[in-house]
Structure formats: structure tokens, C-alpha cells
Amino acid sequence: MRNTIIELKKADLTLGNQAATVHVLKGIDLEIGKGEAVGIVGPSGSGKSTLLMVLAGLERLDSGEIWINGAPLHTLSEDKLADFRGRNIGIVFQSFHLIANMTALENVAVPLELANAKNPFETARRELEAVGLGERLNHYPGQLSGGEQQRVAIARALAPSPSVLIADEPTGNLDSDTGRQIADLLFSKQAERGTTLVLVTHDPSLAARCTRQVKVRSGMLEANTVSAASVADVVPA
């Protein structure tokens, strides 16, 4: 593949303790190109979230390789891995994961500040304006709707300009209209910035908006489908 940004080779992972071990990822090979939007689908318990955590550098493989932007994450020390994550990867979760006693502005600015970014509060304000929350900077998460909280989470994920954006059921806790708005926002930011997007979803309409769908079943990849929309882009009528 040209312009590969993410590559998994024979990725294998067992989780749990002796009483309850689960062979979650069973030798997964996957290549993702720069700027792609990949939708990971599959039944509950098939290993989708675990796969995302590996791609995010938050879970280590037992064996196999994970390369992102030319960096071998499987060989990095914890410190180097944390540093790599901060610079290269943005993450959005289903349940937002905002810090309750920080305002929207602080939720976005503080991680930038901790990473020694320049002008963290200015950047945070700009990112929140870019997701339509310029009027909600000083609201606490508890004072925001679900959709607004997810917008804060997206602003936080995008603020360090990561090359990879990872989202685990980003619309899973939202009603369908709000979910569609959040999906619109994710895809427009992705296109605008040339970010590579990898998302997990149970929503077939959201998966269909990705350039490619990857189906996980029992820790293995079942199918690799290019969406009709992206085929139409490359095959003249």
C-alpha cells in the first residue's frame, strides 16, 4: 500500500489473569494508508476495542508488530510510547472521558500544557471554536449535553494535531441526530486536516461513511470492504 501510516503484523494478544484468560487478538495483519477512514465492525466481544487500544499505543501486544508513522511501537519503552501517543494519536471514547471538575477550556488546554505545547489556552479556545463550542468555554462537563461533551472530547483529541485519530463508538451514547452531527464533525475534521481516522462502530450507516470497513470476528479479521462511495471515487462511471 502506498503511504502506509499504520501497520499491524501478526498482532497477538491474550488478556486477563489465570482464572479468566481470553485470546483476544489472534494474529491480525492490517495496513492502513495515510488519510484513510477505516470503520472497524463486528460482534460484541470480538476484540474491536482491544484492537483500537493496540493502535492507540495503550495496550501492548504479546507478539507481533505495530508500526505507526514508521515507529515500532512494540519496541518502545513506556516513556517513549507515552510521548509518541501525545504527539501522534488522538483518542475519542464513547463515554467522552472528560474531567468533571475542569471546564471545557481546561479539558482541552491542560493536556496541551502538560505536553509543553505553546499557548495551550489559545489553542484550546481555537479548537473549541472549531467544533462549535465558542460559547461554552467555561461550562463544566455536567453543564453540557452529550453531543457537546463529545465535541469537547473531539477538540481535545485534535488539539495536538495528531496524524491518527482513534474513536471507539464515538456516537454510541448519543441520539441518532446528535450522532450524525458528531459523525459529520469527525469526517469534516479528518478531511480538512488529512488525519487518518480509525473508528469502531455498531452503526452500519456510520461504518458505510468510512472509505473502508474491516470486520473483526473472534479476534481475527473477516473482511476488508472498500465502501461503495470510495469505489465510485476511483472507478469512472
Binding mask 49-88 for Mg ion (x = CB under 5 A): x---------------------------------------
Within 4-23, the residues that bind ligand ATP by CB under 6 A are 15-16, 20, 22
- Element spanning 180, H or E: helix 176-193
Asked if 171 is part of the footprint of Mg ion (rule: CB under 5 A), the reply reads no
Within 8 A by CB and 6+ apart from 218, the residues are 26, 46, 47
Where do we find the cell 489553542?
123
The distance of closest approach from Cβ of residue 57 to ligand ATP in the complex, given in angstroms and rounded to an integer, is 16
Q: Which residues contact 44 (CB under 8 A, 6 or more apart)?
A: none
Contact of residue 58 among Mg ion, ligand ATP, none (CB under 5-8 Å per partner type): none
Residue closest to Mg ion (Cβ): 49
Nearer residue to ligand ATP within complex by CB, 22 or 114 = 22
Binding residue for ligand ATP, selected from 13, 36, 49, 201, defined by CB under 6 A: 49
39 binds, among Mg ion, ligand ATP, none (CB under 5 to 8 A by kind): none
Is 211 an interacting residue with respect to ligand ATP (CB under 6 A)?
no
Give the distance, in angstroms, between the CA of residue 172 and the centroid of all CA atoms in the same chain.
Answer: 14
The reply on whether position 204 binds ligand ATP by CB under 6 A is no
Nearest to 221 by CA among 10, 5, 2: 10
List the grid coordinates of 234. 476511483
Q: How far is the CB of 35 from Mg ion (least distance, A)?
A: 25
